[in-house]
Structure 1
């Protein structure tokens, strides 16, 4: 198989901020075609998790999302901080901050690329089990998050009805459902 990788000839940063970095690249395809400009958005990696409390209910979160102008139901997750030593550490931190729950076990479900055509980051997905409420939420300045505990069957029904809008969370939910099925087999 021949390589389809592009060669990066030049990069120029157009905007740099805490939550968004944009650059304009000049690239060359394997056939020699120059692609200019090609815009890339740089983000820190993200984490998300299907979190199961010790009573078997799924810990969901409701929050407003400005991009689509709606309050939606999601799973816990967030952005990895530059100081987070690993995705697992970041996920445990996010779970504690957003939900106040600590979990006995965190199972890595893999990673997906949110938009590999124009974004550079990955989303690391987890399944957490044995959750216990150990503290109140410790939210960021602009966060207002409502905790919603749901039965697994109700979450599955929301998926069937296409009522969970955040695509990266839907992906994690499906991977978690597959893992739960695998774990329940003899």
Structure 2
């Protein structure tokens, strides 16, 4: 169980100023459920109008999402079975940030790229960071563009990963997003963000 940081008035004493009027005060919290990959957190909160209620959300480690390009401009993708939706998902390689990597996310991106695809990058640069579902989860995705990717590494999959590696033309990925054929949300966001700001 973790204690909240606000005082009895709902003021966050760490910001050194007036509290955000929309802020909820966390009275206490606990881990309601744990499983490999994520936890469910339950918190008792006080709303701005004084109402007290429970709030549950999914908690997981931060992740890197890699937008990997080969020297000839093809995009490296993974095709992976997703049990929740009962189908093969096509998307960018991605993986969790380990505690030892928190200060060097580019290293995490390189590692996850190699582990999932067997490709190694010549250069890795940060693209953007987003909170994809912050109404129900504390997930954070750090996007990286990897250039000069070659299949010179060794794939090292987790025991519960079923992955096939493929490549595609970036323009085809844009078309797949437009035509509702690419359903993976984090990949669709990466494609659109790179198309708008990454080149």
What TM-score comes out, normalization by structure 2 length? 0.84
Q: Is 2:78 the partner of 1:61?
A: yes
5 Å-filtered alignment, 1:58-97, equals 58-85=75-102, 86-97=104-115
Which of these residues, 47, 50, 69, is aligned with residue 64 of structure 2? 47
- Provide runs of 4+ in structure 1 moved above 6 Å: none
User: Does residue 121 of structure 2 align to residue 138 of structure 1?
Assistant: no
**Residue equivalent to 1:104:** 122
1:147 aligns with 2:165: yes
Contact 2:174 2:192 (C-alpha < 8 Å) held by counterparts:
no
Distance in 2 (CA, whole Å) between partners of 1:12 and 1:51 is: 38
SS of structure 2 residue aligned to 1:132: coil
The structural deviation recorded for 1:87 is 2.5
Any conservation in 2 of the 1:126–1:176 contact (CA below 8 Å)? no
Higher strand share: 1
Q: 2 CA distance for matches of 1:146 and 1:23?
A: 33
Q: Measure how far apart 1:180 and its partner are.
A: 3.7
Q: Is the 8 A contact 2:177 2:183 kept in 1?
A: no
| CA distance in structure 2 between the aligned counterparts of 1:125 and 1:70, rounded to whole angstroms | 24
Does the alignment pair 1:162 with 2:180? yes
Gaps of 5+ in 1: 182-186
Distance 1:140 1:121 in 2: 20
Aligned to 1:27: 45
- CA positional deviation for 1:18: 3.2
User: How many pairs are equivalent?
Assistant: 180
Structure 2 residue runs without a partner (length 5+): 1-17
- 2:32 matches 1:14: yes
Relative to structure 1, the CA distance from residue 15 to residue 137 in structure 2 (aligned partners, 3 Å threshold; closer, same or farther) is same
Report the Cα offset of residue 175 of structure 1.
1.2
**SS of residue in 1 equivalent to 2:138:** coil
RMSD: 1.7
Indicate if the aligned counterparts of 1:126 and 1:172 stay in contact, CA closer than 8 A.
no
